[in-house]
Amino acid sequence: MEINLAMLIMGSVMIIVGIVKTIIPVKFNEGIFGKIEGKAENYAAAMRTNIGAALIGMGVILLLNRNSFEANESKALVFSVGVALSIFLLSIILAYIRKFTTNIPVPPLVILGSLVIIAFTSSSGTESNVNEITMDATKLDPDHYKVEFENDQVRMVRIKYGPNEKSVMHEHIPGAVVFLTDGEGRMTFPDGEQIDNRFEAGTVGWEPGGKHLPENTSDKSHELILVELKNTK
Q: Which residues pair with 69 in a beta bridge?
A: none
Q: Which domain holds residue 44?
A: 3-122
pLDDT at 233: 47
pLDDT at 132: 58
* Range 1-22 average pLDDT: 91
Is 129 within a domain? no
Pair (116, 143) in one structural domain = no
CATH number for the domain including 186?
Answer: 2.60.120.10
> At how many degrees (to 10) do helices 25-33 and 106-122 cross?
100
Q: How many domains does the chain have?
A: 2
pLDDT at 181: 95
Is a pLDDT exceeding 70 seen at residue 130? no
Last residue of a domain, one of 92, 122, 152: 122
Is a pLDDT exceeding 70 seen at residue 125? no
Pair (108, 217) in one structural domain = no
d(CA 29, CA 35): 8
For the chain, the distance separating the N- and C-terminal CA atoms, rounded to the nearest angstrom, is 23
Pair (155, 179) in one structural domain = yes
Tens digit of each residue's pLDDT (9 = 90 or more) over 157-179: 999 999 999 999 999 988 899 99
pLDDT at 231: 66
The burial of 17, by beta-carbon neighbours within 10 Å (0-12 exposed, 13-18 middle, 19 or more buried), is given as buried
Is 130 within a domain? no
